[in-house]
Chains A and B, each alone.
Chain A
Amino acid sequence: MITSIIINGILIGLIYALLAIGLTVIFGVMRIINMFHGEAVMLGMYAAFVLFDKFGISPYISVFLTAPIFFVLGSIIYKFLIDPIPAREREITSLIITLGISFIFATSAMYIWSADYRTVTLPFSQDVMVFIKTRIGYPALISSCMSAVMIVGFYLFMSKTYMGRAIRATELDKDTASVMGVNVKWISIATFGIGVVLAAMAGGILSPIFYIYPFVGSNFVIKAFTIVVLGGMGSVTGALVGGIILGVAEALASTFLEYSMKDIMAFILFLGILLFKPSGILGGRTRL
């Protein structure tokens, strides 16, 4: 039984990791605590829901179709609302501004789609496969595998492409990056856009296995922050490890304690890591 709990924990952990990557990259490069992240997940879920409901497009496909829209949305938010903030007051002001944007989007979602819980029910939603005596639902399996592929893809983007390396260089030393020919302002806008796309894609991928409602974002943003703190700010591998730890911790808590304990695991891990290893489990330096 314990193996099946862990396997399910790892599967959900992979999706959590994808959820956190956009947040960690935005924080790493721009030192912005992006409270809008959760609402980007929520919008991604609704986008997947609408496209499935109206046109029958599977969320696993529609996340790619909507990605450009979310990139533009993120870029606009950064360019017009965050970039104008003076450098001195960046961290705190950006937190308040992104929080404000979150409220606007969550309330609008409430207005447009009402507070009803929505679901994306795929033809194979009830199907399960059995793997080492573990029952795994098909949607969860597909969502996890897709998250894993996207995490690997993002890692390769950050390590092997000019733009990925420029994002990392900007994170490490803006001035020197600009001397290399990097347009730091443009890279910041693009990084924010990419962060929002990753959150929305995670939302779309989550939509077949989670309820969709207007305030679902706050639930996910807490998980994402926990993972970022666990894995170290700005680290992709850290987010992967942190996501899996959270997934497994939640699975264990809901089995051995009580189902309702599941959602406070994030807080417990969050406080624990801040008390005992504030630099994150993988250590302090900004690694990819």
Chain B
Amino acid sequence: MLEIKGIDSGYGKIKVLKDITLKIEKGEMVALVGPNGAGKTTLLKTIAGMIVPSKGDILLEETSISGMPPHKTSARGIAYVPEGRRVFSAMSVEENLLMGTYLKKNRPHKTESLRMVYDLFPRLEERKKQTAGTLSGGEQQMLAIGRGLMMRPKLVLLDEPSLGLAPLLINSIYKVLERLNGEGMTTLLVEQNVKKALSLCKRAYVIESGEIVMKGPSEDILCDENVKCTYLGI
């Protein structure tokens, strides 16, 4: 589904990612974990097309999407759910969700897509007329995820969906992610909450200072001594 081949990326002169290689198969849910400032968000932004990599290639279903602007990568089937619940604050909940069907090919499915998201997050349906900026943090996160799902994407890039949420809410969001993965959605999940992410995903990558330092099945990574002491505090 997604293949990243040795990319370098960053912001202008600031180099952040060095020679990143990563692969996700169709239907897989893969975790990307690492400390603050490691470059996780930078990698997702590069895949989504918000940053153009200075080296390497990004393939989506065997075609290069490297250097494509975000409005084109989204048309190719990538949904990026940004860090920090970037909802359109002055628009209503439903208007936010409808932005997820902006692409022409998704417009005819508007009603079904809304139904699907409202079934996943009933709270959003109760508040569909409310201004998004006045939702609670958890509700905004549900909205950001829901809006991404409205795009009926082939690949979802989720940037820290659990950040700043109460454990109960994290569990309910993770239940939704698990269910969607069960239905065949391909996901790259960025998390600080390593334990949680690795329990959900079968495979993971560990990134530190812009480089992939470890990859493999989640159990192996959880057993690693370094990971144990750095991320799990054991």
- List residues of chain A with CB under 8 Å of any chain B CB: 159, 162, 165-166, 168-169, 172-173, 175-184, 285-288
Contact = CB atoms under 8 A, between A and B. Distances in A.
Nearest to A184: B71
A169 B88 contact: yes
A181 B49 CA distance: 11
B71 A176 contact: no
A168 to B, nearest CB: 6
Interface string B29-50: 0000000000000000000101
Contact of B88 (A172, A178, A181): A172
Contacts of A159: 95
Contacts of B169: none
Interface in B188-216: none
Contacts of A168: 88, 90-91, 95
A175 to B, nearest CB: 6
A285 B132 CA distance: 12
Contact of A165 (B48, B75, B95): B95
B86 A180 contact: no
Contact of B151 (A162, A165, A181): A181
Interface stretch (B100-108, B119-127, B160-168, B223-231): B100-108
Given A166-B102, A175-B82, A285-B133, A181 B75 contact: yes
7 contacts: A166-B99, A168-B91, A177-B88, A178-B69, A178-B70, A180-B74, A180-B147
A286 B90 contact: yes
A128 B82 CA distance: 59
Contact of B74 (A165, A172, A173, A181): A181
Nearest to A168: B91
B71 A181 contact: yes
- 5 smallest CB-CB distances across A and B, nearest first, come from A181-B103, A178-B70, A181-B74, A176-B86, A183-B71
